[in-house]
Amino acid sequence: MSRIEPRISPAALAELVAQAASDLGFDLVGVTPVGPSPDFARFQQWLAAGYDGEMAYLARRMAERADLRMLLPEARSAIVLGASYHTHELPATLRNDPSRGLIAAYAWGDDYHEVIKPLLFQLDAIIRAASGRTSLGRAFVDAGPVLERSWAQEAGLGFIGKNTCLIAPRLGSWTFLAVLLTPEEIAPFSLLASAGRQEVSAATQTCGACVRCLDVCPTNAFVAPQVLDGRRCISYLTIELRGPIPHELRPQMGNWIFGCDLCQQVCPYNRRFARSARLAALQARPEMVAPRLLDLLALDEAGFRQRFRRSPVLRTKRRGLLRNVCVALGNWGDPAAAPALVEALHDDEALVRGHAAWALGRMAAPAARQALLTAAQSEPDSTVRNEINVALTARET
């Protein structure tokens, strides 16, 4: 396919993109020429180390990850955008209440895929109207073979911090990233669009000597600065991992039930520069902020889907979320949770039954041991029987 020769100059297109991105509600926008993906060799090394765990999809479509032109051969520009999802700090009364489940802030609002991708289509339509292009660009929101953080850094929007997040110097890291590939040549630029088109100026910014994010991680998931062992990350354990959570990591997970924000909460850039989400659909829903664990454990399939409609939490499926809830209840250890956990020993999902057994093994409630002994006699799944035996042994020691 021949290259597009637009009827508008690269500089004028850059001005158009900057204004349109701001009008659409994005906080960050930058443009960089398309070519081989930056940081691709490091991504390969990360995969070779096995840090992706069960996320096998990350090793697929490697040619496209290596060069965005494999996704759109005629692409000349990558427009990289960021949208803040920060709304407010979680009150200490909720954050420190072990009877409540903690959900990563990015999931407090609507599913970001469904919110952001239509905006990329709108931006592409604006560019097409100006350039005369009739073909479509390619839009990606964390669901394609694109190394978004690396391209955001290449576009000058920020730097990759020690916690592996993209940190924008005047915004922080509470942001969703998206990429739009277009055939037009657009003059490179990088702006904090939500601050009156302020330049990002990220080239010389770093984390300096700060290691707060590395120190705060309860599961020691950071092998080194900018190197995350996904298999130990609470976000991976509560979302990506489909089977049982390793026993040795469960006590370190606290009451996180979907994702984890600890390494972002302590980041000085976030504490100083975080800006509230401009997109209304990314604002927090009250029912998503620190819900009661016992309420969640009582959800059936229909209740789960109703409560988390339009939410990223649906990704875990009911069995995954209730698995996480059981771990959080076990870490709480209050006998008040024992009756609900005893009921969960009879859940249709073996994954839920097994983690309910583990949680009961950490409680001093008199009914817990008897419930475990009774369940051991009738449990058909060998994995769950093993969990029950481990729980009984734990109570005896």
- Which residues does the annotation mark as catalytic? 142
Which of 368, 361, 304 minimizes the C-alpha distance to 339? 368
Measure the CA dihedral 289/92/174/41, to 10°. -100
Q: Which two tokens stand for residue 185?
A: 């040549």
Contact 325, 293 (CB under 8 A): yes
Q: Which residues of 267-287 are buried (b: 16+ CB within 10 A; e: fewer)?
A: bebbeebbbebbbeebebeee
Q: Which two tokens stand for residue 28?
A: 């960050």
Q: Which two tokens stand for residue 68?
A: 């965005």
Contact 140, 127 (CB under 8 A): no
C-alpha–C-alpha distance, residues 22 and 25, integer Å: 5
C-alpha–C-alpha distance, residues 105 and 92, integer Å: 15
Q: Which two tokens stand for residue 139?
A: 């839009």
End-to-end CA distance of the chain: 71
The angle subtended at Cα 77 by Cα 172 and Cα 134, nearest 5°, is 125
Contact 343, 374 (CB under 8 A): no
| CB count in 10 Å sphere of residue 333 | 14
Which of 168, 163, 164 minimizes the C-alpha distance to 201? 168
